[in-house]
Structure 1
Amino acid sequence: MTALDSLAGLSVGDAFGAQFFATENRRLLSDETATPPAPWPWTDDTEMACNLVDVLHRHGEVDRDALAAAFADRYDPYRGYGPGTVVLLRALRDGESWRAVSPAQFGGRGSMGNGAAMRAAPLGAYYPGDLERVALEAAASAVVTHAHPEGIAGAVAVAVAASYVTRGDADGLMDAVLAHTPNGTVRDGVERAAGLLDRTREEAAYELGNGARVLAHDTVPFCLWVAARHLTDYEQAVRTCVAVGGDIDTTAAITGGIVAAHTGAGGIPESWLAAREPLPDWVTGSGAGP
């Protein structure tokens, strides 16, 4: 599968999940067969993922300077960026270097948020099965905005998962992610997730988090749990993310990107693709293969 397949899954998940933040659509949460009325605008999750895919296509790897420039130049403040990312992107747009701005966030610790993970799945699909390369490229893609080791680890875990499933099923997925994710709270969460695959979604979300804290370790393990449980069923995977609440556009984006890396865009319901706001021409015309 190509990065564009994964990007389609990411963007549809993002757009679908985001609709449930609207007051008029929250009543639909009680009906797990309902879909919000179209169109479904996407958020910053998709905008950043599109930029990452574009840089991969143009450079054949993660060029960190090019990625920072793309994030800054195409930044749309109405896409729902978090306050920390807004400050960072404005600084980049004003000519500051990501090398100074990203590590300086949060008192010099860097961000451990889920933003680097939310855009990483298409990167994994860009390098199908090449897990060591993916881990390195994912770390490079993360540090531009998320310099904290946990923010980086979240991106690595998601990208490795997406790369792994392009070449096979869910068997061995958690082991592959664990083998390439640096030690820390994200990896600890993935290890817990691997032991919860027989639990309900509510139990898993309680144990792992649902993204409500908007941190990598509160988000990524649950997304991997969902992907491992529903790798062949895109709709069920995304609806599972929505059903447990939290940062539902981001959990649905991460999970959707991983699942579509396995199923291809053909696994996404056609009506959902049609409802999603179109992606920018500059990314959909790229081909986005390695």
Structure 2
Amino acid sequence: MKEMTIHPFERATASLHGLALGDAFGSQFFVPANGHALSGRLLPPDPWQWTDDTEMACSVYRVLADHGVVDQDALAAGFAARHDFDRGYGPATNRMLRLIREGGDWRALSSELFDGKGSWGNGAAMRVAPLGAWLAEDLAEVARQAALSARVTHTHPEAVAGAVAVAVAAATAVREPGLSPGRFLDRVGEHVPASMVREGIAEARGLLTVRDPVLAAQVLGNGRRVSAHDTVPFTLWVTARERHDFEAAMWTTAAAGGDVDTTCAIVGGIVAASGAAGRLPPEWMSRREPLPDWAGVPPYDP
């Protein structure tokens, strides 16, 4: 493991910038006219606007900056206060955040979703990479804090497992940038609770020799069903293979289609957490919409 000389705040800032860039880049491929860009790797026209993935990740970042760990009440309040309906939230989340603003108890609202089963969506995973970068010194603590962050909106065990996997992946990218793809996935899997997400990560390891992301996504999912287990294993397959090249990671992720803004956000947040290896391309950054002032995020500094 390399010695971590970069401050947790700086690591989380880099991860958040990468997450937001991935989100904004991926969101462009919901527009059918931009589909041709994938074959020729033509950058979509700017500006690239980010979605709910980034808005919620900024709230996670803000809570970490203010408290050092996950304060669930503060996180729920932040999600609700900064909720912008036009950023692409799902209907269940829109309703829950509105009710929290009106005085509802986030614990009850989150646990009551989907007939009391809780949401197993990918929303907890899409926003959590900066947390892994922040707490990278201790993988067990990363897993614990990621679970706390997830349960504010997603209480289903699969959603929690997805958040844990992404956070641990970001922390591992910081701690051990030289790991082989297989060992990278092994390290993540060691900290993910028994779940379909963990089974998917094991499947991803077996597919590392596959070069075509479309074929990998046929097995692992691409987020089209918006569930954690349909999203996270594929993003970790990409990250394991491409985490030293941000642009390659983004194009590989987008090529599989599906929930492209979310899959690119997850991959971007993990890759950027690794520091120099995950440097963000300046031309891409110039196209991305600025982050919100309330988040207090310093400008990206490669």
TM-score by length of 2: 0.92
The SS at the match of 1:216 is: coil
Mapping 1:133-172, distance limit 5 Å: 133-169=141-177, 170-171=179-180, 172=183
Q: Please tell me whether residue 45 in structure 1 is matched to residue 72 in structure 2.
A: no
Matches of 2:243 and 2:27 in 1, distance apart? Answer: 21
SS in 2 for 1:232: coil
Distance across 2 between alignment mates of 1:62 and 1:218: 26
Dislocated runs of 4+, deviation >4 Å: none
Q: Look up the match of 1:273.
A: 285
Matching residue's letter, 1:34: L
Alignment equivalent of 1:178, drawn from 174, 189, 196: 189
Counterpart in the other structure of 1:210: 222
Paired residue for 1:25?
34
Matched, 1:34 2:42: yes
Matches within 5 A, 1:77-226: 77-169=85-177, 170-171=179-180, 172-200=183-211, 201-226=213-238
Paired position in structure 1 for 2:246: 234
Bigger shift: residues 106-115 or 14-23 = 14-23
Q: Give the drift of 1:129.
A: 3.5
Equivalent position SS for 2:100? helix
What is the CA–CA distance in structure 2 between the aligned matches of 1:93 and 1:193, rounded to whole Å? 40
Structure 2 letter corresponding to 1:141: S
Report how far residue 24 of structure 1 moved.
2.8
SS in 2 for 1:217: coil
Q: 1:266, 1:241 → 2: CA distance?
A: 15
Report if aligned partners of 1:210, 1:219 keep a CA contact under 8 Å in 2: yes
Residue by residue over 1:118-138, the C-alpha shift from the partner in whole angstroms, topping out at 9 and shown as x without a partner, is 001110000123100000000
Is 1:258 the counterpart of 2:270? The answer is: yes
Q: Per-residue CA shift, 1:96-152, capped at 9, x if unaligned?
A: 111100010001000000000000111000012310000000000000000000010
Q: CA deviation at 1:282?
A: 2.8
Residues 232-272 of structure 1: CA distance to partner in whole angstroms, max 9, x if unpaired?
00000011111110000000000010011113596111011
Amino acid at match of 2:57: A
Unaligned runs of 5+ in 1: none
Q: Which residue of 1 aligns with 2:19?
A: 10
CA–CA distance in structure 2, aligned partners of residues 198 and 221 of structure 1:
15
Q: What amino acid sits opposite 2:148 in the alignment?
A: A
In structure 2, C-alpha distance between the alignment counterparts of 1:128 and 1:100, rounded to whole Å: 31
CA distance in 1, matches of 2:137, 2:265: 21
Percentage of pairs with the same residue: 56
CA distance in 2, matches of 1:8, 1:237: 15
Higher mean alpha-carbon deviation, 266-275 vs 67-76, is at 266-275
Of 41, 63, 82 in structure 2, the residue corresponding to residue 55 of structure 1 is 63
CA 1:74–1:265: 2 relative to 1, 3 Å? farther
TM-score by length of 1: 0.95
CA-to-aligned-CA distance 1:18-53 (integer Å, 9 cap, x gap) = 01112332232332x210111101000000000000
- Cα distance between partner residues in 2 of 1:26 and 1:36: 9
Q: Which amino acid aligns with 1:115?
A: G
Kept in 2, the 8 Å contact 1:38–1:275? The answer is yes
The reply to whether residue 76 of structure 1 matches residue 84 of structure 2 is: yes
Measured at CA, do residues 251 and 64 of structure 1 come closer, stay the same or move farther in structure 2, by a change above 3 Å? same
Q: What's the counterpart of residue 282 of structure 1? A: 294
Identify unmatched segments of 5+ residues in structure 2. Answer: 1-5
Corresponding position: 1:67 with 2:79: no
Supply the distance in 1 between the matched residues of 2:165 and 2:295 (Cα, whole angstroms): 24
Q: CA deviation at 1:231?
A: 1.0
Cα shift readout 1:66-106 (whole Å, capped 9, x = no counterpart)? 00000000000000001111111111111111110001000
